[in-house]
């Protein structure tokens, strides 16, 4: 599933094409994905000007001049793909729409943005922009890990008394918004913390030290265009390449990258997800 860096990469790719532009026509080609689309979604989007493309956690937020915001979740395999004219670049003609092209934004500037989702775990919803923070998908989220509200004092307090493994705590979207399995594994390796350690029993200095590591890992991944393992592509169709920088994720049985460490990367399953770590470097 796309995590914060992948969604942020998509947002950045879409912004030059969609922000301050008019959706000439929205085409909705099925009744819904993970759940039904909002009533009259095509009509509500057609003719609207996009005032801002934002992101909250793993959700794209498309603010419209109609006073509504389109919330987009890419699910497991969703992609937002651009074809046509965009920001001074000229691409080939729009290709024929495919089976899994479910929502199409025909932009007034000549670009076409297509939401493709083969597994159909993605989702879209519309809500009043001024009520966005109270939306059921948004109100449960913790602070953004790259935002000012996320700091060492906050994380220490959030983990206080927690008896869950640190890996599970970091994946809790109510504590930190946007972290997923890949980046939590990478963060814990850099921090030297074993993924099964109880969050509430880790020294406060080590908990506070997670904050800059989380920021570094996410920032590096965003600059690399995210991680392309199966489905993720940037809005222009290019692959992300942060997967080439993985130090533990997906490297079971390979030697640890730490100089002088002879251990192999191990894999365990926590809450149904694979965790990769070095037993020698992570304590």
Q: Kindly name the residue from 55, 56, 58, 233 that is annotated as catalytic.
A: 58
The pLDDT score that the predictor gives to residue 233 is: 47
Same domain, 105 and 156: no
Same domain, 116 and 194: no
For the question of residue 273 being annotated catalytic, the response is yes
Q: Is 238 a residue whose pLDDT tops 70?
A: no
Residue 47 lies in a domain: yes
**What is the Cα 266 distance to its own chain's centre?**
25
Residue 94 corresponds to which tokens in the numbers above? 């729009």
Same domain, 177 and 103: no
Nearest to 210 by CA among 177, 166, 257, 266: 166
Same domain, 214 and 251: yes
Same domain, 233 and 165: yes
Domain with 120, as residue range(s), is 4-134
- Longest pairwise C-alpha distance within the chain: 62
Same domain, 173 and 222: yes
Number of domains, the chain: 2
For the question of residue 186 being annotated catalytic, the response is no
Residue 175 lies in a domain: yes
Same domain, 9 and 94: yes
Please report where in the chains the tokens 């092209």 appear, as a residue: 101
Same domain, 109 and 176: no
The pLDDT score that the predictor gives to residue 77 is: 82
Residue 112 lies in a domain: yes
Q: Kindly name the residue from 2, 143, 145, 165 that is annotated as catalytic.
A: 2
Same domain, 111 and 168: no
User: Of 99, 134, 169, which marks where a domain is finished?
Assistant: 134
User: Of 134, 167, 185, which marks where a domain is finished?
Assistant: 134
DSSP of 57-76, one letter per residue?
TTEEEEEETTSEEEEEE-TT
Same domain, 76 and 193: no
Residue 198 lies in a domain: yes
Q: Kindly name the residue from 49, 52, 247, 273 that is annotated as catalytic.
A: 273
Residue 241 belongs to a domain with what CATH number? 1.10.8.50
Residue 9 lies in a domain: yes
Same domain, 31 and 60: yes
User: Of 134, 169, 203, which marks where a domain is finished?
Assistant: 134
pLDDT digits (tens, 9 = 90+) for 41-98: 999 999 999 999 999 999 999 999 999 999 999 998 888 999 885 445 545 567 778 8
The pLDDT score that the predictor gives to residue 87 is: 45
Residue 17 lies in a domain: yes
pLDDT digits (tens, 9 = 90+) for 126-150: 999 999 999 999 999 999 999 999 9
In whole angstroms, what is the distance from residue 106 CA to residue 237 CA? 18
Residue 58 belongs to a domain with what CATH number? 3.20.190.10
Segment among 18-32, 106-120, 220-234 with least mean pLDDT: 220-234
Report angle CA 119, 78, 58 to the nearest 5 degrees. Answer: 120
Residue 168 corresponds to which tokens in the numbers above? 């599970």
Same domain, 129 and 220: no
For the question of residue 2 being annotated catalytic, the response is yes
For the question of residue 162 being annotated catalytic, the response is no
Residue 176 lies in a domain: yes
The pLDDT score that the predictor gives to residue 232 is: 42
**Cβ-contact 248, 268 below 8 angstroms:** no
Residue 283 lies in a domain: no
């Amino acid at each position: 599933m796309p995590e914060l860096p992948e969604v942020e990469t998509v947002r950045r790719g879409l912004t030059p094409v969609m922000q301050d532009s008019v959706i000439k026509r929205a085409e909705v080609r099925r009744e819904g994905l993970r759940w039904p689309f909002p009533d009259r979604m095509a009509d509500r989007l057609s003719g609207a000007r996009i005032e801002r493309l934002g992101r909250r956690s793993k959700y794209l937020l498309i603010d419209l001049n109609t006073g509504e915001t389109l919330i987009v979740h890419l699910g497991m395999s969703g992609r937002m793909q651009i074809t046509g004219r965009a920001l001074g670049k000229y691409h080939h003609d729009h290709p024929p729409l495919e089976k899994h092209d479910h929502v199409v934004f025909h932009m007034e500037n000549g670009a076409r943005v297509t939401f493709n989702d083969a597994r159909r775990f993605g989702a879209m919803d519309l809500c009043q922009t001024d009520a966005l923070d109270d939306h059921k998908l948004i109100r449960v989220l913790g602070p953004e890990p790259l935002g000012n509200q996320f700091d060492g004092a906050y994380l220490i307090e959030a983990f206080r008394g927690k008896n869950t493994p640190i890996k599970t705590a970091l994946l809790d979207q109510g504590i930190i918004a946007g972290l997923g399995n890949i980046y939590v594994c990478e963060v814990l390796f850099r921090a030297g913390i074993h993924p099964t350690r109880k969050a509430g029993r880790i020294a406060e200095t080590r908990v506070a030290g997670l904050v800059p590591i989380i920021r570094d890992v996410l920032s590096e991944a965003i600059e690399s265009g995210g991680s392309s393992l199966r489905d993720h592509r940037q809005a222009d169709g290019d692959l992300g390449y942060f997967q080439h920088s993985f130090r533990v994720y997906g490297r079971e049985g390979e030697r640890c990258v730490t100089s002088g460490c002879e251990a192999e990367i191990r894999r365990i399953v926590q809450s149904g997800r694979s965790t990769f770590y070095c037993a020698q470097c992570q304590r």
